[in-house]
Amino acid sequence: MDYIFIVISAILVNNIVLAQFLGICPFLGVSHKVSTAVGMTGAVLFVMVIATMITYLLHQYVLVPYNLLFMRTIMFILVIASLVQMVEIILKKVSPPLYEALGVFLPLITTNCAVLGVAMLAVGMEDASLLKAVIFAIAHAIGFGLALVLFSGLREHLNLMSVPKGMKGVPIALVTAGLLSMAFMGFAGMV
Amino acid sequence: MNQLQNFTKGFLKENPVFVLLLGMCPVLGVTSSAINGLGMGLATTFVLVMSNTVVSLVKKQIPSKVRIPSFIVIIASFVTIVEMVMEGFLPELYNQLGLFIPLIVVNCLILGRAEAFASKNNFISSVIDGLGMGLGFTFALTLLGTVREMLGSGTIFNVSFVPENAQTFLLFVMPPGAFIALGFLIAFINRLKHKRA
Amino acid sequence: MAQQKESSLFNMLTTLVVITLISGFALAYVNQLTIKPIQQAQLSKKKDALVEVLPEFDNNPVDTRYAVFVKALGDSVEVYKAYQSGELVGTAVNAFSPDGYSGDVRIMVGFLPDGTIHAISVLEQTETPGLGTKMTEAEFIDQFADKNPKDFKMQVVKDGGQVDAITAATISSRAFCDALQMAYAVCVDSCDANTGATSTDEKTH
């Protein structure tokens, strides 16, 4: 039951992009086409889940027992940065097609605050466990993907519309994101 | 470019938020009131100035291949310092900003300035660049926070200017309002820039 | 001017290790400096809330705190006792409800020894700004002052109680009432037990 709550809450109610404002940079940056949005989602899902797993274990078995919580931010960001590099190298060797699909997005992920944000939220959860943290990460990645894909679909259509000159580009995209976020607000109170 | 231009470029011409669109997460996430925007802006400015300073001083000692990880560690250290000091001395603000304080680490603005400016320029220019960019960021956050607070709660810096029980645009202190308010602000600034050009 | 260091493996490793070491030590030092203020800030928040919800007292209620496990929540709540020249003048309960509109609603309730509510302070809530957050305002909270839950039904009017809910924020109001009811239940338990608690405690030890 707990897990269902986590999933619904992460995807719809507290959507990571539209309600918690994490990962706004890729949300605005790579949302011009649906196909790139899907690729980005795949890369984020991949990195977010592995990063959350590793940071969770580090937090639980190194930082907490040795009273090193003040190193948390540094540890987490280093894990994520090196993880991204490693994933890039491994993918290149093991699965060239997958690398082809995700490769361009990987370097962008280091500074995607959604990854660091979810890792930090996961260790702060009440009675957390590794399984819970992983489900938490998967659900948030899906929420990120949902918002990104929906938004890029809207933007593709937006390109065909005539928009007032001053509102062209980023401003109208932001207002659209606002309307999307408003739609997601309808889910509030569900959990 | 003289130092004055170097300082003022962050406010309008190269404003990190309105023009460069950097560090958008805290911009949208913490600006439900002017005071939060100001606090977040100043915290970011501190980290930016300090990291620019250190990076410009040690840039010669860092092999270029491990440049980025080194910068990240330097930035993360200052972010943690800000986090600890804030928790101890400004607990109210600390609770309001929450997760967005540690997330200053991944603010692309800071790493961007370290990489694009501080690693190529001398100490003094780097400090001034950090200060200008940071204050430009603070200016943008405070402006957006003020607009949202005015429309959403009918107050400016917690001082009310509407009659009691008046209905305000609650939407603007909620997440959708952040996107919409920023969208219109950027449109407005674009218009200003076009007029001057 | 010195030359840029070349990217040999040795150089790269030493650079990273040195930087991480320096920052580690710097952070440990700042951590030492701020650990006291952080604890104090957290304590003073609780103390402020206690002063707000309890009648005048001269002991330090934080020292008297103990936890009571509440089965329905699967979690425990904290109880504080306030004394004025040795006499019990009030009990404060730090209770919460997980059923807010978006997350926990955590309140500190001060009861007089006869169970009357003295005052309430909202410690933590993440309700919708401008709607649910009105629970922190006097207009809502003051309706509970000097009410005794014995003859004041702590449910919103919609649910057949006597509490005027916040306009357009029934869920938040409900969560608030839930937390309040839990606080009262804990208080009644502890007050009953308390009359003999100190003596029995001494005997058992």
Q: Locate the chain B residue with the closest alpha carbon to C31.
A: B84
End-to-end CA distance of chain A: 11
Closest Cα in chain B to A76: B76
Q: Could you state, in order of their start, the residue ranges of all structural domains in chain C?
A: 52-204
Q: Are C183 and C191 in contact (CB under 8 A)?
A: no
pLDDT, tens digit, for every residue of C7-41? 788 888 888 888 888 888 888 888 888 888 888 88
C-alpha C148, offset from chain centre: 22
| B11-42 per-position pLDDT tens digit | 878 888 888 888 888 889 888 889 999 999 99
Its domain, for residue B117, covers: 3-196
Give CA torsion, residues B2, B6, B9, B10, to 10 deg: -170
Residue of C nearest to A19 (CA): C102
**A127 class by beta-carbon count within 10 Å (0-12 exposed, 13-18 middle, 19+ buried):** exposed
Residue A190 lies in a domain: no
pLDDT(C201) > 70: no
pLDDT tens-digit profile of B41-88?
999 999 999 999 999 998 888 888 888 888 889 999 999 999 999 988
In angstroms, the Cα distances linking A20 to A148, B33, B77, C108 are: 14, 16, 25, 28
In a domain, A191, yes or no: no
Nearest Cα to C26, choosing from B59, B112, B84? B84
Dig out the tokens for B100 from the structure. 């967005």
Does pLDDT of B1 surpass 60?
Answer: no
ipTM for this prediction: 0.85
The residue whose two tokens read 């004394």 is: C83
The Cα C171–Cα C134 span in angstroms is 12
Residue B177 has pLDDT above 70, yes or no: yes
CB atoms within 10 A of CB B164: 7
SS3 content of chain A, % helix, strand, coil (to 5): 75, 0, 25
> Which pLDDT belongs to residue C196?
39
Residue B128 has pLDDT above 70, yes or no: yes
* Residues 18-77 in C contacting A (C-alpha not used; CB under 8 Å): 20, 23-24, 27-28, 30-31
| Token pair listed for B181 | 């308010």
Question: Residue type for A3, please?
Answer: Y
Within 8 A by CB and 6+ apart from A74, the residues are B73, B76, B77, B80, C20, C23, C24, C27
Note whether C20 contacts A74, CB cutoff 8 Å: yes
The DSSP letter of residue C74 is: T
User: How high is the mean pLDDT in each 10-residue block of chain A (191 residues)?
Assistant: 81 88 84 84 89 92 85 89 85 81 73 86 82 92 94 90 84 92 81 58
* DSSP SS3 for C134: helix
Helices then strands, counting H and E runs in chain B, come out as 8, 2
Q: What is the average per-residue pLDDT within B95-123?
A: 87
Write out the DSSP string of C85-117. TTEEEEEEEEEEEEEETTEEEEEEEEE-TTS-E
- In this predicted structure, what is the pLDDT of residue C157? 83
* R_g of chain B, CA atoms, integer Å: 18
Kindly identify which residue of chain C lies nearest to residue A13, measuring between CA atoms: C102
C23 contacts chain B (CB < 8 A)? yes
How many beta carbons lie within 10 A of that of residue A37, not counting itself? 24
Determine contact: C126 vs chain A, CB below 8 A: no
Which of B36, B84, B106, B113 is most worth mutating to test chain A (most A CB atoms within 10 A of its CB)? B106
Distance CA C114, CA C74 (A): 28
**Residue B162 burial (CB count, 10 A):** 12
CB-based contact B151:B167 (threshold 8 Å): no
What sign for the dihedral angle of Cα C189, C192, C193, C197? Answer: positive
* Nearest chain C Cα distance for residue B137, angstroms: 25
- Please tell me the total count of domains within chain A: 1
3-state secondary structure string, C16-55? Answer: HHHHHHHHHHHHHHHHHHHHHHHHHHHHHHHHHHHHHHCC
C27 to A13: CB separation less than 8 angstroms, yes or no: no
Q: Which residues pair with C83 in a beta bridge?
A: C88
**Mutant choice from C17, C21, C31, C99 vs A, greatest count of A C-beta within 10 A:** C31
Q: Do C15 and B174 touch (CB under 8 A)?
A: no
Looking at the predicted structure, is the pLDDT value of residue C205 above 60? no
* CA distance linking residue B170 with residue C63, whole number of Å: 42
| CB C38 within 8 Å of CB B84 | yes
**Domain count across chain B:** 1
